[in-house]
Amino acid sequence: MQYDLNAIRAQFPALSVLDDDKSRIYFDNPAGTQVSRFVVDRMSHCLLQANANIHGYFRTSVLVDDLIAEARVAMADMLNAPSPDEIIFGQNMTTLTLHISRSIGRLLKEGDEIVLSRMDHDANVSPWLLLAEDLNLKIRWLPFNVETFEFDLDVLDEVLTDKTRLVCVGAASNLLGTINDVKAICTRAREAGAMTYIDAVQAVPHISTDVQDLGCDFLVCSAYKFFGPHQGILWGRRELLEQLEPYKVRPATDEIPGCFETGTQSHEGMAGTAAAVDYLAWIGENMAQSYHWRYESFAARRMHVHAAMDFLFEYETGLASHLIEGLQRLPGVRVQGITAADSLARRVPTVSFTVDGRSPDSIAEALAAKNIFVWSGHVYAVEPAKALDIYDAGGAVRIGPVHYNSIAEIDQLMVELDQILPRANVA
């Protein structure tokens, strides 16, 4: 079936909001996407019909237990996890990572090594730096090539040693857009005897994510980046989750996954997360039939979600191509990421750029005045911005289209950039 952008956009009430008769162009998606009606309705249903704490005898509590169980099944489908018991919910990716890093630390001892990447968001860097400080662990850095914006996996082989116990790496960069070869990284880490902790926050909104195929040990993502509410999700391999000692209060369950979910959770967030998965499955079922064969071995919703992600990625690659071509036509613009037309399958459509002598903030501010929403700065990608030597100059401007954006919106952005760039404030 043809890509039915109108049908997709009709699912997102926020896309038709006007500000003084002016429509909004949402290119701030890598920092948070809009939500579909599926999500709004399910969260509202949770708050109106199932608003209680868990494990009670009464109706609302039974309903909320059911809803949480369903949210785990939905996320297991989204990530092709072997079991919903391996899905842990938490406030967001950063909080989950800081939390579980303490438990992972109990498996490590002084002198052990952790590999961190220079391409990662700080949420997959600082928690491990802090752990290393507490336990006297050694950090070894995996650099990326600042010309190609990709890792050289031969360098990973040099960084891995017989002391490496953990490799932490992102599946897709929130600044560069690069999609990393996580499967190859996990294979090499496993051969070296190390566990892997994958930050998939920027991959899950764009590509089919399969923890079994990747062969990772932990994978984290955030529903608010994939058209759901503010909710973090951590998948962990069962054998490891069962080995870890959770940091928990005594009355809380000792069973996985609940033992890692401290305090009362956002039940409405879990409900909305399940609905975000159902929205993607709706696309898979209704528009992505020609991709079903790729996931024949998956049961219904799982197949629909993964087929949808492949279908949407193809559309998004068209957006990325149009955006990159447009940016490259503007004078003084440097795209900080993969641009070659034959390499776009190795990037998500998140495109960052810098302009000689101009401040990213001034460009984002000027676009905001036109109701075009983009981010500027280092976007918490501290290591990548430093590696590219743009950290001190204010980072970059980040344009992040997703599947509900259109070519027409990118054209509108280009018209405005054409006007703005010559007049932007000098940094």
Ligand X SMILES: Cc1ncc(COP(=O)(O)O)c(C=O)c1O
State which residue, 75 or 192, has the beta carbon closest to ligand X.
75
In one letter, which amino acid is 274?
Answer: A
Does 402 contact ligand X by CB under 6 A?
no
| Between 93 and 287, CB nearer to ligand X | 93
Nearer CB in complex with ligand X: 123/189? 123
Beta carbon of residue 361, minimum distance to ligand X (angstroms, whole number)? 18
Residue span binding ligand X (CB under 6 A) among the ranges 48-56, 92-100, 326-334, 335-343: 92-100
Shortest CB 90 distance to ligand X, Å: 9
177 lies in the binding site for ligand X (CB under 6 A): no
> Least distance to ligand X from the beta carbon of 93, Å?
4
Given candidates 11, 80, 126, 202, which one binds ligand X under the rule CB under 6 A? 202
167 contributes a contact to ligand X by CB under 6 A: no
Give the tokens for residue 179.
């999609």
Of 302, 307, 314, 317, whose CA–CA distance to 283 is shortest? Answer: 307
What is the nearest approach in angstroms of ligand X to the Cβ of residue 203? 8
Looking at residue 29, its amino acid is N
Of 121, 237, 306, 398, the residue at the interface with ligand X (CB under 6 A) is 121
Nearer to ligand X, 105 or 269 (CB): 269
In this structure, is the dihedral angle defined by the CA atoms of residues 78, 81, 83 and 88, taken in order, positive or negative? Answer: negative
Quick note: the x/- pattern for ligand X over 39-78, rule CB under 6 A, is ----------------------------------------
Let me know: does 324 contact 346? Beta carbons within 8 Å: no
Part of the chain binding ligand X (CB under 6 A), chosen from 5-13, 147-155, 197-205, 259-267: 197-205
Q: With binding defined as CB under 6 A, does residue 92 bind ligand X? A: yes
Q: How far apart are CA 32 and CA 11, in angstroms?
A: 17
Q: CB of 364 within 8 A of CB of 417?
A: no
269 versus 326: smaller Cβ distance to ligand X:
269
Least distance from ligand X to the Cβ atom of residue 276, Å: 14
- Exactly one of 94, 101, 352, 362 binds ligand X (CB under 6 A); which one? 94
Q: What is the DSSP string of 362-424?
A: HHHHHHHHTTEE-EEE-TT-HHHHHHTT-TTTT-EEEEB--TT--HHHHHHHHHHHHHHGGGS
Under rule CB under 6 A, residue 174 binds ligand X: yes
Task: Please give the size of the binding site for ligand X, defined by CB under 6 A.
Answer: 13
Report CA Rg, the chain.
21
Name the H helices within 211-293: 211-214, 238-243, 267-286
Among 232, 258, 395, 400, binds ligand X (CB under 6 A): 232
| Residue 75, number of CB atoms within 10 A of its CB | 27
Residue 339 found at the interface with ligand X (CB under 6 A) = no
Distances (CA, A) of 100 to 115, 329, 422: 17, 45, 48
Does residue 222 belong to the site contacting ligand X (CB under 6 A)?
A: yes
Strands 195-199 and 164-170: parallel
Cβ pair 185, 156 in contact under 8 A: yes
Instruction: Please say whether the beta carbons of 88 and 96 come within 8 A.
Output: yes
Does 359 interact with ligand X (rule: CB under 6 A)? no
| 209 or 282: CB nearest ligand X | 209
Site of interaction with ligand X (CB under 6 A): 31, 92-94, 121, 123, 170, 174, 199, 201-202, 222, 232
